Every structure is written in structure tokens, then in C-alpha cells.
Structure 1
Amino acid sequence: MSGMRIPRAVLALAVGTALLTGCFADKKSAAPALPSSTCFGVFTPAELAPFMGSGEEVRVDSPDDLGVNVSRKYARCNIDVDGRSRFTASIDRRPAGHVIVWGSEVEKHRPDVLPYAEHSRLWDSGVALVVNCKAAEGDFDLMLFLDAVPDEVKPEERRPVFAALMKKFLAASRQQTNCGG
């Protein structure tokens, strides 16, 4: 009789192990750790964590600052998790007074206008704005853009989160580019 109990115990152990392994295999891996300073030194890991999703490897491709000028016209920050783009921030310096055309890709998201930026568009997965800058070497425009995968952000919180991130991005951009208003 004891010979029959061992095979059942071994079978139960094998089935239990298989079930547990299946549970852990289906479980998403945790969000990857971000560096202490990301995207031009503007955003903190806590601010960007909701966009990272789950994964193992994070890659941040970004210059250290937003210092666009006459010779450096743009700067981009891309954050990928396991090879998938999760967050993008960009700044472009343009001649002052260019006509602003948002295009159908932005307009199809039924965007709002930011209360602090007349030439802006805010939607559920991003925000863009153009601001005119006064400078001793001549006026110029800055076009700022944030785009992310907001899966971990509640739908009703997405636009307020992007509006707050853009407000911080705009302040840092004005400071680092000597953009007077």
C-alpha cells in the first residue's frame, strides 16, 4: 500500500510544480528601474514610472540637457523597455512665426488646448506645444512634444498627467534655451 502512496505524492508534487510554474510564467515582470535623472535631466523616475510598463531592460537615449541653439536645432529623448518605445520627449528650435499645423494624427485624438499655452494640443497619450521666445540673438519658436504609452495611468488621469509633465518640460526648456516670453 505504501508503494501506491509514493507515486500519488510524486504525481501531486509534479502537478503542483507545473501549476505554480505556469502561474509565475504568466505573471508580468516588474517595471524596470529608471536612472535617477532622465530626459535632459528634467523628469524623475517617479514621474515616468507609470509609462514604463513591465519588462527587464530599460534604455534611455537622451542628451544631458535641452540646450538647443542656432547650431543644435533639436534634442530627443527616447525611453525603451525591452526594445519597445515607452516615452518620447523632444524639443525643436524653429524660426519665429512659422505657421502651426497639427495635422490629422494629432487632431484625430480630439485634443484639448492647454490652459497655459495657446498653441498647444493635449490628448490621452501625449501633448505638443509651440511657444515664441524672445532672445538677444533673435526671436525663435520652440516646439515641445511628449508622447508615451499610458497603459498604467487611469484614462481620466491621462490628460492631467501629460499637462503637468509638459508644464515642467516647458519651464526647463525656457530656462535651458534662454527663451524669454
Structure 2
Amino acid sequence: MRFTRTAAAAVALGLTAAAALTGCSEEKKAAAPQLPERSCFGVFTRSDLEPLMGDGETVKESSPASLKLTPVFKGGTCTIAVDGENRVLSSVKRQPLGQHFFWHLDDEKPDPLPFADNGRVWDGGAAVAITCQGSKDSFELELRLSGSVDRVKPADRRPLFTGLMKKYLDAAKEQTRCGV
């Protein structure tokens, strides 16, 4: 009888330990590796982009160092992927004054951005087009930003992209010397 209780206790303890370990492996998903302190043309901080990252093992960023566009260097794209899955995509494009950018966003049901006459935000991103008229150089500038919103509550998506685009636009105006 004593052997049976001891064996039963050992089995119960083993099952409890196995359940605890299984629970830990299910609870402890691999968090996204730490992002660089600055990402995407040096514009966004780690905390800016964390809501879009999700779980994973490795982060890979592909981006020019800055938004300093010229008549020769007319655009750039930044992508951030976690385990090979794109999580953030931002792009900047410069074109001659008088040319316009066209967006096909009707399916996204976009809202206007409050800080840009020609800006839109939708659940998965935002876009802005501005005219930069300066004393030495004038041009059209387009910024686009999108990201994986799987882990962002629907009510928080447009406010998130509105804030990110405001920061992106401010940095782009400064780095491209828009209006200077």
C-alpha cells in the first residue's frame, strides 16, 4: 500500500511538473528581439514601433540612414521584418513640383489626417503628400507608412498611425529641408 501511494504521488508530481512546463512554454512565447534604438531613416524609436512587432526570434531592418532626398536620390523604403514577416513598411518619394501622387484607398475607408491637407489614415497605415516650396528647391513629397496590426486593438489602429505619421512628417520636413 505504501508503494502505491508513493508511486501515485510521484506520478502526480510528474504530471504537475509536466503541466507546469507545458504551461510555461505556451505562456512564454518568444518576444520580438529588441529593435534598434532608432529605426526607419532614424525617425522612429523602439517604443514607437513596438505595437507593430509581435512575437518572434529575429528582427531585420532594411533602411537608408536618413530621409535626405535630392533630385538624384528620389526615394527610399524602410522595412522591418520579424522572423521574415514584414511588420513595418515606410516609404518616402520625391518628385518634381506640379506632379501629384495618386492613392487608391477607397477600400480602406480612410479618414483625413488632422495635420495635413493631403493626408489619409486607415486601419493599417497612413499616407501624406505635401508640396515643399523653398527659396532654392521646390518639390512634391509623399510619405507612406503601414504595419502589421494583428496585435493592435481596432480602436487603437488609426490613432497609432496618426501619431506615427505626424512624427514621420515632421522628421521628413526637417531632413529633406522642405520649405527651406
- Partner residue of 1:98? 99
Q: CA deviation at 1:141?
A: 0.9
Structure 1, gaps ≥5 residues long: none
- Partner residue of 2:75? 74
Distance 1:64 1:99 in 2: 26
Distance 1:90 1:101 in 2: 15
Distance 1:180 1:99 in 2: 17
Cα RMSD between the aligned structures? 1.8
The one-letter code sitting in structure 1 at the alignment partner of 2:18 is A
Q: How many pairs were matched up?
A: 179
Distance 1:92 1:82 in 2: 27
Distance 1:12 1:76 in 2: 56
Stretch deviating more after TM superposition (168-177 or 151-160) = 151-160
Distance 1:99 1:165 in 2: 23
State how 1:15-30 maps to structure 2 within 5 Å: 15-27=15-27, 28-30=29-31
Q: CA deviation at 1:52?
A: 0.8
Q: CA deviation at 1:118?
A: 1.8
Distance 1:107 1:100 in 2: 15
Q: CA deviation at 1:138?
A: 4.0
Is the 1:59–1:79 Cα contact (8 Å) retained in structure 2?
yes
State how 1:1-181 maps to structure 2 within 5 Å: 1-27=1-27, 28-103=29-104, 106-180=105-179
Q: CA deviation at 1:97?
A: 2.1
The one-letter code sitting in structure 1 at the alignment partner of 2:13 is L
Distance 1:29 1:163 in 2: 29
The one-letter code sitting in structure 2 at the alignment partner of 1:43 is F
Is the 1:66–1:91 Cα contact (8 Å) retained in structure 2?
yes
Is the 2:75–2:94 Cα contact (8 Å) retained in structure 1?
yes
The 3-state SS of whatever aligns with 1:77 is strand
The one-letter code sitting in structure 1 at the alignment partner of 2:14 is A
Distance 1:46 1:141 in 2: 30
More strand by percentage: 2
The 3-state SS of whatever aligns with 1:41 is coil
Is the 2:100–2:140 Cα contact (8 Å) retained in structure 1?
no
Is the 1:32–1:52 Cα contact (8 Å) retained in structure 2?
no
Distance 1:52 1:31 in 2: 6
Q: CA deviation at 1:137?
A: 5.0
Q: CA deviation at 1:170?
A: 0.8
Structure 2, gaps ≥5 residues long: none
Q: TM-score, normalised by structure 2?
A: 0.90
The 3-state SS of whatever aligns with 2:108 is coil
Q: CA deviation at 1:146?
A: 0.6
Is the 2:132–2:179 Cα contact (8 Å) retained in structure 1?
yes
